[in-house]
Structure 1
Amino acid sequence: PIKIGLTADREIIYDRINKRVDIMMENGLLEEAKNLFKYKHLNALQTVGYKELFLYFTNEISLDFAIEEIK
């Protein structure tokens, strides 16, 4: 069988993820998460990004740590 795939250096991948998270924060991810906080029990909101910010809103972690965990 023939396998076709894409590969990228891990450093490039993580750099892109970090930049994407920074852009998402600049574009209002924190405010979006605040508006959804009352629905935090829903499975759809137990995803990377929201769950870390929800922990920040309940003073369980700092904002900087939440962002690092998202990255």
Structure 2
Amino acid sequence: KIKHIKKFLEQQDKVKVSMMFRGREIAFTEIGRKLMDQIKAALADECVMDQEPRLEGRNMIMIVAPKK
């Protein structure tokens, strides 16, 4: 999925990364946060964080924007 994110960033588009937790997964949101941090680290040189990862209901959302 990181290749897809890089492709959108090359086109100067913002990317919304979302992760949905189902059932009992909501109790383990730390695992989701670690995964979001890995994505953020992989894209660190190509993007800036527009919105840090945050939990909205059952979804964890992060928005990245291309560097100018």
- TM-score scaled to structure 1, two decimals? 0.32
Q: Which has the higher strand share?
A: 2
Higher relative contact order (CA 8 A, sep 6+): 2
Structure with the bigger percentage of helix:
1
TM-score w.r.t. length of structure 2: 0.33
**Rg larger in structure:** 1
